[in-house]
Amino acid sequence: MIVVTGGLGFIGSNIVHALNADGYDDIVVVDDFTDGTKFINIADTSIADYLDKDEFLDRLRRGDSFGGNVEAILHQGACSSTTEWNGRLVMENNFSYSREILHYCLQRKIPLIYASSAAVYGNGAAFVEERQNEAPLNVYGYSKTLFDQYVRRFLPSHQTQIVGLRYFNVYGPREQHKGSMASVAFHLRDQLVAEGVVKLFEGCDGYGNGEQRRDFVYVADVVNVIVWLMKHPGVSGIFNVGTGRSQSFNDVAQAVLHAHGHGELRYIPFPEHLKGRYQSFTEADLTRLRAAGYEGDFHTVESGVDLYMHWLQGASNTP
């Protein structure tokens, strides 16, 4: 049995699809189903059970076995909004909840692969998995930073796999429920369909219009890392997951326009509320992930966005 928290969400649902494709269907999906539209993300998958996240937490605290041998917990559930300033809400969901799962796994020697975030690096220039490089700009980033620090206390003496994955800017299928937190590729495509134009922020932090750079990583590549880690239980630690190369927002916009064969790019004023709280540059250092043995390739923006645009076109044509 494999437990996937956040299994109705973006990365979680893609994990469920990948596990099915790999022959796994004894999967327990855990999530908050308040947004019922998320059902579409796993409607075409095979799973063994669904648990509300609060029920799952109660059963963790009781030491429940969940009716079988838990092979791994893939913890993807979180409050992922970088603009949420209710610290109590964010810490309950991202730190306290994760801590409960960690101790459950440590006590029972169950492998744990959990979602961290590149938000831990803030506006830093060094994207290496070291404490001195962590300077989050918001409560979300802080919650992820704090849990990574907590996990580090157990890594030297752990007796089972513990992996934290610092996702960079992930985009791809099944993110439509994320609203404002969906990827720039998703939003640009919506703008293009609705208005015939795509819009990017004007320059900031010394970057020209649309030239801010991020490490944009296709969700299938992220899932490939997770599946590889499940098959290599001797690998533990905190790892960046990105492509290892930054590309500009202009690159994303041009890839969206190219996939559709029409449209115009416009620049809009940089929002006041994001000044000083915006990552204008990210680029994953993959040294540790490669040293751990992962040799998989990562899509460029051009190839990944093209795949995504075609997937979205197919999804929009589905009754």
Same domain? For 94 and 192 the reply is no
For the cut 90, the answer to whether the pLDDT of residue 177 exceeds it is: yes
Kindly indicate the confidence band of residue 319, based on its pLDDT and cuts at 50, 70 and 90: very low
Q: What local confidence, expressed as pLDDT, does residue 273 receive?
A: 83
Residue 16 sits in the same domain as residue 127: yes
Query: Smallest Cα–Cα separation from 301: which of 263, 261, 251, 259?
Result: 251
Q: Among 259, 301, 256, 265, which residue's Cα sits nearest to residue 283? A: 301
Tell me what pLDDT residue 158 has.
84
Q: Specify the number of domains making up the chain.
A: 2
Q: Residue holding tokens 């992996």?
A: 163
- pLDDT, tens only, 230-252: 999 999 999 999 999 999 999 99
Choice between 249 and 137, residue whose per-residue pLDDT is larger: 249
pLDDT given at position 316: 61
Neighbours of 91 (CB within 10 A): 17
DSSP notation for 22-62: TT---EEEEE-TTSGGGGGGTTTS--SEEEEHHHHHHHHHH
User: Which pLDDT score is estimated for 142?
Assistant: 96
**Same structural domain, 208 and 117:** no
Q: What is the mean pLDDT of residues 290-314?
A: 97
- pLDDT score of 182 more than 80: yes
pTM for this model (two decimals): 0.95
146 shares its domain with 8: yes
Same domain as 154, residue 21: yes
Kindly state whether residues 140 and 188 are assigned to the same domain.
no
pLDDT at 318 over 60: no
Percent of the chain with pLDDT over 70: 99
Where does the pLDDT of residue 66 fall: very low under 50, low under 70, confident under 90, or very high at 90 and above?
A: confident
Structural domain of 275: 176-213+246-280+305-316
How much is the pLDDT for 80? 79
Assess whether 200 and 232 both reside in one domain: no
From CA 306, how far away is CA 283, in angstroms rounded?
21
Catalytic positions: 140, 178
